[in-house]
Chains A and B, each alone.
Chain A
Amino acid sequence: MIEAIALTRRYRDVVAVDRLSFTVGKGEIVGFLGPNGAGKSTTMRMLTGALPASEGTARVAGFDVFEQPLEVKRRIGYLPENPPVYSDLSVRSYLRFCAELKGVPRRRVAPEIDRVAERTGLSGALGRTVANLSKGFRQRAGLAQALLGDPEVLVLDEPTVGLDPLQIREVRELVKGLAGEHTVLLSTHILSEVALACHKVLVIDGGRLVDFDTLEGLIAKHLPGRSVTLDDLAFLEDIYGKLVRPADSPAHPPGQPAATAAGARP
């Protein structure tokens, strides 16, 4: 679904991304890891057509990013590093603007806005002006924008920055819910996120591919003989979820513990 072929980007003398090649299959969720400045955002910008490659190319859903950019853009939802929101607009106008730019059919625009707002927990904030939103809500508005039109491929550059732990969990559940139908490439610095949400992990360093494998493959390769259970990763989050209530719910329903209100992990 996503195919990078010797993708290279140079900024004057600096090589940000160096002959990067990888293939992401349909329905896979791939975590994109690497230190700051490793070239993650640059790669994502090249895949979405925001930035031309110096050399090499990329194909998304079978279309070449540089030969048929409009076809590619129709199929990609992209959340850039800085959520691209307009502070003067309300969340609803912002999402309507994005939906129209993405060619969502006129009659589908309003239901589509409600759908993505619901999925990103923005339903209560649709009438608010973006300038008055917290960092977390802006991030969610950016994420909602990427989901508009239900694109086949989602490229999410650090979707959980600025979110609190429970919101991070919501985004993770959202991303997991996209698996199968959608192909997701998401970058993050939170390693447990990758372990909990992704099928495969792509690691780059200094613009070069270091490893690209499934979680099991990575464990077998780099931690031979060690048994790892993913459930243990989330224990602190479960405790936290029992102690506080989600930011967007006004109060606990009477007699109901906070953890159930937040939808505790089964």
Chain B
Amino acid sequence: MSATTAAPMTLDISGTAPTPFTRLLRTELRKTYDTRSGLWLLISIGIVTALVMVIQVSVAIAQDIQVSYNDFLTSTTFSIGFLLPVLGILLLTSEWSQRTAMVSFSLEPRRAHVIAAKLVVGVLFAVAAVVVTLLLAALCTAAFNAISDIPADWDFGIKRTSFFLLLQVIGMLTGFAFAALLLNSPAAIVVYFAYSFILPTIFGIGAELIGWFADIHPWIDFNNAQVPLIDGSVTGEEWAQLLVSGVIWLVIPLSVGIWRVLRAEVK
């Protein structure tokens, strides 16, 4: 560079395109499996889901109990039912525990785009988990049908499949919401488990003892409101209860959490 051509004092940004969302989505997806811990979380979700079903089918065959395709999906409460929310939590909190948020947000200062990419990745994993679960359940039902003397019950419609998908997406999003609120992996996981295992009991006792609480209970207990989805039939009032309790436990924490992430000082 010659001395006469002074370097410009401004940056010419006219030729630079903003980072497209698909690119953020690809990197966020890649971040979920490019570490040993991330990869093993995904693998173990698959293994645990398969294991629960294998145990279920073995017990059913050994004891001549009738099982249905639907039973195999219900048993995922003990596998993807609580591992997907954990995945949803770690998607976000790992950026804080590993302090990579500093890099992510300096490469893409539009933080909302990064968070949205993470949310979409979470939903994609919920969908993938459902697809794998449906396949595994079909395999187990077929195995039961072949080995046991009792014919298997294949009854499961589009409606129940979509309810099942909705349940898993809600679970993942609830984890994500708590994560956004707390930005700390252990805290978010503990709070999530307290919310899904301890809180329903407390709500139940409250409804037993206090008259007026029994009336509002169905409207504020999000766990309870999801039961009709598991059972496969939801009335109009139950949809309303799902919506109202969902605003309390999912929409509000998620909104406050994201609002916080967008403004927080990233260290």
* A and B are interacting partners: no
Q: Could you tell me which B residues sit within 8 Å of A by CB distance?
A: none
Q: Could you tell me which A residues sit within 8 Å of B by CB distance?
A: none
